[in-house]
Amino acid sequence: MTLKVPIRSVIGFSQQKKLLNVQVDEWLENYLILCKNSVERAKENLDMYFTSKILVPEVFTHRDPMHQSFKTSFKVMRLGALPKMTDDNHRVIIFSHVRDDANDFDPLYVLKRISMLGDIMLLEGIEHLGLEVIVDCKNICFGQLTKYDICLTKKCADIGFKALPQRVRRIHMVNPTAILDASLTLFKPLLPRKLSDRFVVHRDLKGLQACLGLECVPRDLGGDGPSLDEVNSFWEKKFLAYRDWFLDNDSIKTDESKRIGKCRYETNDCTFGNQGSFRKIEVD
């Protein structure tokens, strides 16, 4: 693909091949797919991808899955992608708290895991058109919500949707409880405006099953797919398999001393700008 060449020239991939430890042409092709085959968009997003480690190092570096904090995170939060895609070629991502308390819950490591999941999907190939996200509200509690650093979470959302521009088709809220409104109030200003119309609240699980198909819904939620625990365990092992890559990846970042002008993303504010509000939430 001739489009790879101008992208590679922007970030000097010829010098970074050993550090990336990937097939560079394939990696760039996958990245270009994420950017809807737009070279200019890919150039801009790649700048963000490699600058993210400087802007928010606490999230985008030091991602060693053998660290005890990661082990603890996997015990209290289920997060991962189901193995099968939907009939219309979307990958299903699940978020589900294991228990309804805030003990041992650290949102920082949830943010790290999201970034690592995105990196692995990019490394293994972009064959999906977008993402369907399932948020299981069953065990969400106020104590967990109060642990989120709003400024940090907002920065990660702004960076993440640009550095790894996955297309989120819908966000399915299942097992809604009284705390759902509080959850949406907390997170809705953190997401891009385009996602504001993509929330679907399922009052029963049949609606979720109809949207995604039984094979793409975990057994815990009435589907025929693997259980939430099985998905979580699979991705814990997957992270460990990519441990060397994550450790090497810390050194792959922009050299700001060579940048002409100021980094466009640098800011002293706690966010990169507020993103509107919800206009519509679909209730199934």
Q: In the prediction, which pLDDT does 23 show?
A: 62
Q: In the prediction, which pLDDT does 222 show?
A: 96
pLDDT single digits (tens) 196-251: 779 999 999 999 999 999 999 999 999 999 999 999 999 999 999 999 999 998 88
CA gap 210, 132 in Å, rounded:
13
pLDDT single digits (tens) 155-171: 999 999 999 999 999 99
pLDDT band at 66 (very low <50, low <70, confident <90, very high): very high
Choose which CATH entry (3.30.1360.120, 3.40.50.300, 3.40.525.10, 1.10.10.10) describes domain 4-262. 3.40.525.10
CA R_g for the chain: 19
Q: Decide if pLDDT at 256 tops 80.
A: no
Contact 118, 246 (CB under 8 A): no
Q: In the prediction, which pLDDT does 266 show?
A: 57
Domain residue spans in the chain?
A: 4-262
Q: In the prediction, which pLDDT does 102 show?
A: 96
Share above pLDDT 90 across residues of the chain, in percent, rounded to a whole number: 60
State the chain's mean pLDDT as an integer: 85
Question: Which of 20, 15, 81, 26 has the alpha carbon at shortest distance from 49?
Answer: 20
Q: Decide if pLDDT at 269 tops 70.
A: no
Q: In which region does residue 272 sit, left (phi positive, over 0), alpha (psi from -120 to 50) or beta (all else)?
A: alpha
